[in-house]
A and B are shown apart, each in its own frame.
Chain A
Amino acid sequence: MPHLELASISKAFKTNKVLDDISLTADAGEIVVIFGPSGTGKTVLLRLIAGVEEPTSGTISVDSQDMADVAPEHRDVGMAFQNFALFPHLNAFENIASPLRARSQSDAQVKSGVGRVAKLLKIDHVLGHAPRQLSNGQKQRTALARALASSPKLLLLDDPLRNVDAKLRFEMRLELPRLLRQAKSTVLYVTQDYKEAMALADRIAVLAEGRFIQIATPADIYRNPATVGVARLFGDPTINLAETTIGADGSIELAGEKVAIDKSYGIFAGKNVSFGVRPEAVEVMNGRGAGLKAQVMAVTPLNERTVLLLQTKAGAELLASLPSSSASIPKAENEVTIAFNPAGTHLFDRETGAALARGRA
């Protein structure tokens, strides 16, 4: 039995439909990441679950109990937001203590409750500080501690790492799974950062234009994206896409040049598709062997990988991403031969964007 169940939820503000018939379940202790670009209704969804907004239609149940008539303060929900939303007149300790005091806990209970989460989040040394005396990282940890303090059954985190710098975001990304496991809460986590989504989620629900287009594990989302839109949202650099028509032998055309891909694609012969290949599935060889010829236009290192901008003889642009430790990274202006690892190739219906097939490894 799922812990949280959203059934056919819609939400409209006057005539503006923000969420359109969405359904989702989460098991107890599961971390579900709601992922999508800004303006897709992620925050509205959290507000509905918290009870500060009401759905236009549909039901929200926790442990099979309909939440419609349960006031926000009785929903056993903890929240943290991207703008931290700390009470400016209370120090860090009192901010974290506020949900405990709201439940009329004794001073001793409050003290031990705050102490526990503060230690976990490594802010026990700044509990006496006012929010304005805290760094952004400490503010964000204080906000998280407040959300965790009452050990809520349901934790709603609205892009909590949005406003901290890259180093802190990375540190927190590594720390959060353990924190969340220890809290034992069911977590809905909103983010626009695909790496954060993949790193934290048990499952990712991809939200676009008010609907979930795919709900699956990170590996499944990355390897088997349901639509071309999902494929474009995951990966850095993003997937290479080319509009083409499939040949009888499963080949495609890149800027008019015929390229053999995967014979199994032959069943889609004559179909108009978007062909996608992940940059890390573009294999680059220095030799003059058979295959697709391309010129290296630019070499742009990306952390421990090297991204190559390639241009085929016919003029198609492609990005390749190789480990920088690879034996032979070509230089700008070099001529190379490229091949596609079938496991990283995808076909999408050009009309609907829906996935048709993935290449076989």
Chain B
Amino acid sequence: MSSELVLKNVDKIYGAGAVHAVKDLSFAVKPGEITALLGSSGCGKTSTLRMIAGFETLTNGSIELDGRPIHMLPPAQRGVAMAFETYSLYPPLTIAENISFALKAQKLGSQDVNKRVKDMAELLEISDVLNKYPSSVSGGQQQRASLGRALVRKAGLYLLDEPMGQLEPQLRAVLRGRIKHYLREHDCTTILVTHDQTEANALADRIAVMEGGVLQQYATPAELKVRPANLFVGTFIGEPPMNVFPVQVKDDGKTVDFAIEGSGGQSLSYAAADFSQTLRNRLKSETALMLGVRPHAVRIGKQGLKARVVTCQWLGDQTHIASEIAGRTVVSVSHEQIAAKPASEVFLGIEPGDLHIFSSGNGAAIAHGAQLV
């Protein structure tokens, strides 16, 4: 039942060329795969979703479901179940009727319908409001009901637009887990649109990161973190965000030295043997680079960059430490509870395997760890 979705060279231009919202977008979602479209507002993710749903026409390109072009079909004929922020519940129907309404077309017996509605309501923690009308339940409950209405259907493709934006924090983690389990158990091909990277990371098998109408990278959450394609993805994905420094690189045959600009002459030095020969050759042609390091890879110890602690904050399950190197803030995160006194001196160690090297021109990734991209 689950389908494969393929977008080929999709463009969306609004108002006679005035706004190029989606540019030459191609990607595929495998049967049963959960894909997140992630980006900030205006990145083109919502236009993309609306084109897949059939609420917008394509300017160029095609959208295929199981090899069948669907972009010319009206929304109702696309076999797509939707939970949209703006696609609201029917006000004159109760929450239970709203959810079961989606099952009418499937010609199920009333006992079967009732059971499915009951199970879905339990999964989404809305059993106690099933007999209420949408106007008398909270925004978070309406959102869950709308999600339930989409998930209870059998469809080739599920489109979920910011499905958990209003979820109460106490429910968020459990519902993410249950929904992910449900989607996998029912082999649902799913596209999730969100601006919230924690939601995308929690739920998606692969994430399509969009910015300025352009697909920046389409990869698993782990891959996005370890091998970001460019500086945008590197700094967009990850919380707290990646530390980035402009550096000058020097290689004297024995050591590879990254001098951090504006740090009063401090540099990160590594044995040349830590880097592959091809990477060292490449770095010779690039003098000015951007060096990225994830906060978890910055280790506070006895060696490394000399820095002064600005703040040390323990959040229950992790410690965030901000320190400064000549006015530049470096963030370090540890799973342990660490005490570092503000204004004290610390040394920040960074392993060569944790370096991300980007071109300072176009921001494209040159190397992750000690290996060339």
Chain A residues with a Cβ under 8 A of chain B: 166-167, 170, 173-175, 177-178, 181, 195, 198-200, 218-219, 222, 232, 234-238, 278-280, 297-305, 307-309, 317, 319, 321, 323, 325, 332
Report the Cα distance A177→B315, complex, angstroms. 15
With A198-B316, A238-B173, A303-B239 in contact, is A297–B310 under 8 Å at CB? Answer: no
- Given A300-B173, A300-B202, A319-B174, A234:B335 Cβ within 8 A: no
Q: A195-B315, A198-B315 are in contact. Are A174 and B201 (CB under 8 A)?
A: no
Residues of B within 8 A of A300 (CB): 173, 176-177, 180, 201-203
CB-based contact B174/A309 at 8 Å:
yes
Say yes or no: B173 contacts A236, CB within 8 Å.
yes
Structural contact, A307 and B221, CB atoms closer than 8 A: no
In the complex, the answer to whether B177 meets A297 with C-beta atoms within 8 Å is yes
B333 is contacted by which of A173, A237, A304 (Cβ under 8 Å)?
A304
Could you write out 6 A-B pairs with CB less than 8 Å apart?
A174-B329, A198-B314, A235-B316, A298-B184, A323-B335, A332-B184
Given contacts A174-B322, A297-B178, contact A238 B169 (CB under 8 A): yes
The answer for the CA separation of A297 and B318 in the assembled complex, in Å, is 25
Q: Are A218 and B178 in contact (CB under 8 A)?
A: no
Complex interface bits, B166-201 against A, C-beta within 8 A gives 1, otherwise 0: 000110111011101100100000000000001001
State in angstroms the CA–CA spacing of A34 and B333 once bound together.
26
A321–B315 Cα gap in the complex (Å)? Answer: 14
Interface presence of B88 (CB below 8 A): no
Q: Looking at the assembled complex, report how far the CB atom of A87 sits from the nearest CB atom of chain B, in whole angstroms.
A: 28
Question: In the complex, which residues of chain B have a beta carbon less than 8 angstroms from the beta carbon of A219?
Answer: 314
Q: How far is the CB of A96 from chain B (nearest CB, A)?
A: 22
Q: Given A174-B331, A219-B314, are A301 and B201 neighbors across the interface (CB < 8 Å)?
A: yes
Contacts of A195 in B (CB 8 A): 315
B91 within 8 A of partner (CB): no
Interface size for B (C-beta < 8 A) is 37
Q: Mark B113-143, 1 if CB is under 8 A from A, else 0.
A: 0000000000000000000000000000000
List of B residues within 8 angstroms of A319 by Cβ: 173-174, 177
Given contacts A198-B316, A304-B335, contact A298 B173 (CB under 8 A): no
Q: Please tell me if B42 contacts chain A, counting CB pairs below 8 Å.
A: no
For the complex formed, measure the closest distance between the CB of B154 and the CB atoms of chain A, giving whole angstroms. 21
Q: What is the bound-complex CA distance between A186 and B320, given in angstroms? A: 24
Interface residues of B in 232-285 (CB under 8 A from A): 238-241
Neighbouring B residues of A200 by C-beta, 8 Å: 313
- Cα A317 to Cα B173 with chains together (Å): 12
- How far is it, in angstroms, between the C-alpha of A260 and the C-alpha of B244 when the chains are bound? 48
Point out the residues of chain A lying under 8 angstroms from B169, CB to CB: 236, 238
Q: Beyond the given A175-B311, A300-B202, A307-B176, please list 14 additional residue pairs across the A-B interface where CB-CB is below 8 A.
A: A170-B240, A199-B313, A199-B315, A219-B314, A222-B316, A232-B170, A236-B317, A278-B316, A298-B181, A302-B198, A303-B239, A309-B174, A319-B177, A332-B184
What CA separation (Å) do A166 and B173 show in the bound complex? 19
Within 8 Å by CB of B310, from A174, A218, A308, lies A174
Chain B residue nearest to A237 (CB atoms) is B173
* Closest B residue, CB atoms, query A171: B329
CB-based closest 4 A-B pairs: A309-B177, A237-B173, A300-B202, A199-B313
Assess the A177–B316 pair: CB atoms within 8 A: no
Q: Which residues of the other chain, B, contact A278 by a CB distance below 8 angstroms?
A: 316-317
CB contact under 8 A between A166 and B239, given known A174-B311, A222-B316: yes
Bound complex: CA of A195 vs CA of B172, how far in Å?
16
Most A CB atoms within 10 A — which of B184, B201, B335? Answer: B335
Q: How far is the CB of A227 from chain B (nearest CB, A)?
A: 15
Which of chain B's residues have a CB closer than 8 A to the CB of A199?
Answer: 311, 313, 315, 320
B30 sits at the interface (CB 8 A): no
Residues of B within 8 A of A166 (CB): 239
- B296 near A: Cβ within 8 Å? yes
CA distance A279 to B239 in the complex (A): 19
A177 in contact with B202 given A298-B180, A304-B335, A321-B317 (CB within 8 Å): no
Q: Give A138 to B173 CA distance when docked, in angstroms.
A: 33
Given A236-B169, A319-B174, A319-B177, check contact A301 B221 (CB 8 Å): yes
